[in-house]
Amino acid sequence: MTNQKQIAQKLGISIATVSNALTGKGRVSANVIEQVLAHAKQMAYVPDAAGRALKTGRTGIIGLVIPDITQPVFPDFAEGIEAAADEYGYGVLIGNSRRMKDNQAKTINQLIQRGVDGLIIVPQRGTKIQALNVPFAVISTATDPSFTVVANHKQGGQLSAKSMLDIGHRKFVILGDDCHSPVENERIAGMVEELENVASYEVFWAQDEFPDLLAQHKQGVTAVLTVSDLLALRVITESSNLGLRCPKDLSVLGFDNLPLATAVRPTLTSIVPNTAELSKRSIEYLDAAIRRNVQLPPPSIVNMSIEFRESTAALTAKI
């Protein structure tokens, strides 16, 4: 295995210069850094993680704690965290709390025991992350005062409603799944705020009562806003079973832009969280905390966008 000494001998420079060039420390000219990096790649140099940990007190590994890996949104988020972490030179260990509050603390402790430099935590609903003995970032909701970085769920809800108002819809069903979910409540709050005083709407929670879509359509409802792509797809399926066509009879809008949004027909219009930016800001904060920077990035909220597809259309459109 190639080491720094061999690179130094190949280039005729000191080991310290090679080390500084590879780590970005010390004063090394751009030309020397370029040569060192090129030779390191050519000679298949792999840093000695154990040695680096002894010297720096860091392992170069961070932990990601998520509430439920089986939920469709989390694999994409985990991939975004891994990509952003890689740019900062970190590897990622993933801990799954498996929907249990007690498991969250256990998972956090297990990752700390494995020597992670820091943690990114998506908390279980109803839990607060107390002080830990490693740096950490919290990816939660805007209603959680301890958040570090959050997706702007309320703005996403506003965007959902506004997009349908802009193409003529004025009577809506708003459909959530779990009335105790802070994420869903923030999304619906945004929808309601946008529709208030300019359109009529009724809020349903699927856990209690799935709306009678045929009856709603007969009463003039032309658009259904949902808090998730899975709910939106259920609406499209139920509508079809009732003889309603999407989007001719009902425009249906989802949330989260899951891969399956483009695998169905009609393809699903969906609100898109900016996972890449969420991941980037989370890693930026955690890296600054690990390095003990005097000034950490402030808490931030990341806005969402919309991807228009076949499940929505202007009210006057003839399809």
Rounded-to-integer distance, Cα 172 and Cα 163, Å: 12
In terms of pTM, does the model score above 0.75?
yes
Q: List Cβ neighbours of 125 (8 Å cut-off, separation of 6 or more).
A: 67, 180, 181, 182
Find out whether 174 and 204 touch, Cβ atoms under 8 Å: yes
Q: Is 206 helix (H, G, I), strand (E, B) or coil?
A: coil
CA proximity to 312, closest of 213, 226, 193, 196: 226
Q: At what angle are helices 4-11 and 30-42 packed, to 10 degrees?
A: 120
Q: Is 197 helix (H, G, I), strand (E, B) or coil?
A: coil
Please report, to the nearest 10 degrees, the dihedral formed by the alpha carbons of residues 115, 120, 121, 122 taken in order.
-150
Q: List Cβ neighbours of 136 (8 Å cut-off, separation of 6 or more).
A: 118, 119, 120, 121, 129, 286, 289
Preceding peptide of 123 cis, ω within 30°:
no
How confident is the chain (319 residues) per 10-residue block, as mean pLDDT? 80 83 75 84 68 61 93 92 93 90 89 94 88 92 91 98 97 96 96 97 95 97 97 96 96 96 96 96 95 92 98 76
CA angle centred on 285, ends 134 and 182, rounded to 5°: 90
Q: Is 256 helix (H, G, I), strand (E, B) or coil?
A: coil
What pLDDT is stored for residue 57 in this prediction? Answer: 59
Q: Please state, in angstroms and as integers, the Cα–Cα distance from residue 292 to each residue in 134, 185, 286, following that order.
A: 11, 36, 10
Find out whether 277 and 302 touch, Cβ atoms under 8 Å: yes
Find out whether 248 and 319 touch, Cβ atoms under 8 Å: yes
Question: Read out DSSP for 83-94?
Answer: HHHHHTT-EEEE
Q: List Cβ neighbours of 7 (8 Å cut-off, separation of 6 or more).
A: 18, 36, 39, 40, 43, 45
Find out whether 263 and 299 touch, Cβ atoms under 8 Å: no
Rounded-to-integer distance, Cα 84 and Cα 13, Å: 33
Domains of the chain by start residue, with CATH: 4-47 (no CATH), 61-151+275-302 (3.40.50.2300), 153-273 (3.40.50.2300)
Q: Is 20 helix (H, G, I), strand (E, B) or coil?
A: helix
Q: List Cβ neighbours of 261 (8 Å cut-off, separation of 6 or more).
A: 229, 254, 267, 268, 270, 307, 309
What does the radius of gyration of the chain's CA atoms come to, in whole angstroms?
Answer: 25
Rounded-to-integer distance, Cα 265 and Cα 316, Å: 21
Eight-state DSSP code of residue 124: P
